[in-house]
Amino acid sequence: MTQTIAVALTGASGMPYGLRLIECLLAAGSRVQVLYSQVAQVVARQELDLALPARAADAQAWFAERYGATAEQLQVYGREEWFAPLASGSNPPDAMVICPCTMGTLAAVAAGLSSNLIERAADVCLKEGRKLVLVPRETPFSTLHLENMLRLSRMGVVILPPNPGFYHHPQSIDDLVDFVVARILDQLGVAHALMARWGAAEE
């Protein structure tokens, strides 16, 4: 059965993680629903020199061309698109990942706020018992950050900071990004070959 995964990009540093995640999900045959904040557009330009379109329709075409995805595989929704499927518990995604996740977004989800579609979609995943993975990119964490993460963890939310390992001898930034994306895909139950498994025999 094809999974539908919502991926939200917010204004924390770490845009390569989110974009690589979208790419890998599409390559694995998942249906992907993409959302991103206005500040995520700023971060994408700062970190990757990418101009993410402001309009959902333009963004749909941009992502489709970048990843060779069809309209059935990939949908992009605007921040105020309240008639999007993932805004309602009657049509939620199978799982949602916020990557990268700002501390503001994390706090809003922990408080049950729904001031935009990203927050509402996360709230729907919580109330419908769907998998929710947050990838908070901040350091150091304040006590308030940690308390919010603990609160969410007790609700069943996966808190997955993008902390790459080095035991696989990464040779590039792409290797470090793939380490984190591999961990996210594992949480979603999506098969991948981004890196060797610990203890697995080398080919």
**Rounded Cα gap, residues 7 and 20, in angstroms:** 11
Nearest to 101 by CA among 141, 52, 135: 135
Cβ burial, residue 181 (10 Å; 0-12/13-18/19+)? buried
Backbone phi, psi, residue 130, to 5°: -90, 155
**Residue 172 is encoded by which pair of tokens?**
């590039």
Binding residue positions for dimethylallyl phosphate: 167, 183
**Residue 140 is encoded by which pair of tokens?**
């150091």
Binding residue positions: 11-13, 37, 102-105, 137, 167, 183
Q: Which residues are CB-neighbours of 125 under 8 A, at least 6 positions away? A: 6, 92, 93, 95, 96, 131, 132
Nearest to 95 by CA among 55, 126, 136: 126
Binding residue positions for FMN: 11-13, 37, 102-105, 137
